Amino acid sequence: MNFSSVCGHNKNIDFLKKLFFRDRLPHALLFSGPAGVGKRRVAAALAAFLNCLNPDEKGACGECSNCRKLSSGNQAMVRFVGSSKDEEEMNIQFKNGSRILLKNTIAGSKRGGKKKTRKINIDQIREVIRQAALKPFSDGMKVFIIDDVAQASIEAVNSLLKVLEEPPRNTFFILITSKKALLLPTVVSRCQGLEFSFLKGKEMHEYIDNYIEPGKKQAAESCVEAAGGSPGKLLELMEADSADFKKTRIENFFEEVDRWCGDSATCQKKLAVMLEKEALRFRDKPDRESCRRVTLIDDAIEAVKKNANPSLAVSNLFLQLGKVDL
């Protein structure tokens, strides 16, 4: 669970370690950059580093009592905060077989039978503030990893600003987002920002070597170009490949889209991945028809991401393309 298990982002990791050993690590960090490139893995490794009883240049030892608690999900000093709809826990795997398991701080969202939402809500941030103010249970630092902070409600953000401005002693906040432009300037100004980028080709192959099961490595290699430097997108593409869309008849495809629509996030993700794979067939071709197809497919992907009706968006795409060989 140390930094050596992270693929890429060496510059950011070296910067964090440098600040730590100089005792100058800010109490609020903002990890921003494309989705699926490893921001959460670095955040989890940093949280382990801050709480490890025997840290070194590589990060957490993975063997002390604090590290074992993180691996089993029983570390009270580190908390994960995400939308109540998407995840009950954050389970980060590392290449040496270790993991960091954090329960989602969603107690507030469930109180009173409230419906789960895709936004971090005010009750969750109030719970964070309450926990931050408590006396530590053990040695180490309190760390709150707040994922997808750009999707937090305005009430939650305003509440978070207060604790970012005056954080309790030995408490760190790691905010994560792939949509930095949506954050309030006051949130950005209160944090030390670190920008994460897409992984390089060598780093993507390192990820496949260390994180993909042997029987799936060939499938991963076939999707690595389309993933564009994002391990998260690579996994989505592999999942789409396993669905074998190319053998799906058009009428059955629309039935499948309708079935996905029960979960809009799932539908958006699967359609976007499938359409991107279709576009990849034409992106490197210079002819006019290939460029037309890529433009139409990109427009359909953007429409789906903006919550257009999936079936209508794809139907319109098919009509404009004339025919798509699924």
C-alpha 164/C-alpha 42 separation (Å) is 20
User: What's the residue count for the chain?
Assistant: 326
C-alpha 145/C-alpha 6 separation (Å) is 17
The CATH superfamily of 3-195 is: P-loop containing nucleotide triphosphate hydrolases (3.40.50.300)
pLDDT at 264: 59
What does the block give as tokens for 303? Answer: 């429409």
Residues forming CATH 3.40.50.300 domain(s) in the chain = 3-195
Nearest Cα residue to 234 out of 31, 5, 36? 36
Task: List the chain pLDDT tens, one digit each, 326 residues.
Answer: 789 889 999 999 999 999 999 999 999 999 999 888 999 999 999 999 999 999 988 899 889 999 999 888 888 889 888 864 456 678 888 876 778 888 777 644 444 444 455 678 888 899 899 988 888 777 778 999 999 898 888 999 999 998 998 888 889 999 999 889 889 999 999 999 999 999 999 999 999 998 998 899 988 998 888 788 999 888 877 876 655 444 444 445 555 555 555 555 666 667 777 777 677 667 666 677 877 888 888 888 888 777 777 778 877 887 887 754 44
- Quote the DSSP letter at residue 307: T
Token pair 């564009």 is found at 228
Phi-psi region of 77 (alpha: psi -120 to 50; beta: other; left: phi over 0): alpha
Report yes or no on whether pTM surpasses 0.85: no
C-alpha 21/C-alpha 14 separation (Å) is 11
Nearest Cα residue to 90 out of 300, 78, 121? 78
DSSP code per residue over 237-256: HHHHHHTTGGG--HHHHHHH
Report the side by side order of strands in the sheet with 78-81: 78-81, 142-146, 171-177, 28-32, 192-195
Q: Residues 161, 187: contact at Cβ < 8 Å?
A: yes
